[in-house]
Structure 1
Amino acid sequence: MFIKASVLIALAVAVAARPETPSYSPSAHPAPSYSPPSPSYNAPTHDVPAQYNTQYVVNDEYSGNNYGHQENRDGYNTQGTYYVQLPDGRLQKVTYYVDGESGYVAEVTYEGEAQYPAYQPAPSTSYQPAPSPSYA
């Protein structure tokens, strides 16, 4: 009898010591929320339409590089020109404009005549060892 009572007491103590099982209820836990931080500086505004005029020119006689670009922009209207010296001697020129409704519209023209010089192979080179010194 003593053993039965000991087992019953041990079983009662074990049941009493058992932790409560939490029940989950979605309404008991609010949904996480996120709001992005606001900038601590004055963010730039884009209310003012873009306005600029820019250009560059490269003309290097030694290397033969000859190209450039010029562009004006006022709000949504942009116009400009760029050009490049082609290997055949012509100058390729692109004149363009862009506005909000028509998109990019370009006209390509060429100045000069294409030149194709006759092929002339490079002179052949052959290795000739230097003469050995003579000790007389």
Structure 2
Amino acid sequence: MSAKFIFAFAFVAMALARPEETPGYDYSAPSHASSPAKYDFNYAVNDDYSRNDFGHQENRDGYGAQGSYFVLLPDGRLQKVTYSVNGDSGFVAEVSYEGEAQYPAEQPSYKPTPSYA
């Protein structure tokens, strides 16, 4: 009986000790979140050993963005995507390919990665 009384008393004490509001904490959004984004970036990778060739470029000012990216496909073609996003109009993309698809009869043999140790 005394154990039940101690648990009940502890529970009531914790409930009364809990502050109603957390002082000093502001739950509103940060002021910088209300301004539209503005950025410009690009990157590219071209690795002849592993035949990786890809890149991306994008710039944004306010609610509109435009950019492009490219990737070397396994069949040897280069796929290019140019896109734009303008407010609520959504993502509008134009896809193009350069080169002719190549399907070699013999698959390339495995080459181990170089060791620099």
TM-score class, shorter: 0.5 to 0.7
Deviations 1:81-120 (A, max 9, x none): 0110001000001100001121111111100110111236
Tell me which protein shows more strand as a share of its residues.
2
TM-score, scaled to structure 2: 0.66
* Amino acid corresponding to residue 114 of structure 1 in structure 2: A
Q: Identity rate of aligned residues, in percent?
A: 62
Q: Which runs of 5+ in 2 are unaligned?
A: 1-18, 110-117
CA 34–109 in structure 1, closer or farther in 2 if over 3 Å, else same: farther
Q: Note the C-alpha offset of 1:45.
A: 2.5
* Amino acid corresponding to residue 50 of structure 2 in structure 1: S
Q: Which runs of 5+ in 1 are unaligned?
A: 1-32, 123-136
CA 110–121 in structure 1, closer or farther in 2 if over 3 Å, else same: closer
> Please, which of 110, 117, 122 is the counterpart of residue 104 of structure 2?
117
Deviations 1:6-44 (A, max 9, x none): xxxxxxxxxxxxxxxxxxxxxxxxxxx9546523xxx44
TM-score, scaled to structure 1: 0.57
Question: SS where residue 94 of structure 1 aligns?
Answer: strand
Structure 1 segments of 4+ aligned residues over 4 angstroms from their partners: 33-37
Tell me which protein shows more helix as a share of its residues.
2
Tell me which residue corresponds to 1:77: 64
The alignment covers a number of residue pairs equal to 88
TM-align CA RMSD: 2.3
Determine which structure has more spread, i.e. the larger CA radius of gyration. Answer: 1
CA 35–105 in structure 1, closer or farther in 2 if over 3 Å, else same: farther
| 2:38 corresponds to 1:51 | yes
* Amino acid corresponding to residue 111 of structure 1 in structure 2: E
**Which is bigger in relative contact order (C-alpha 8 A, separation at least 6)?**
2
> Structure 1 CA distance, aligned partners of 2:55 and 2:89?
25
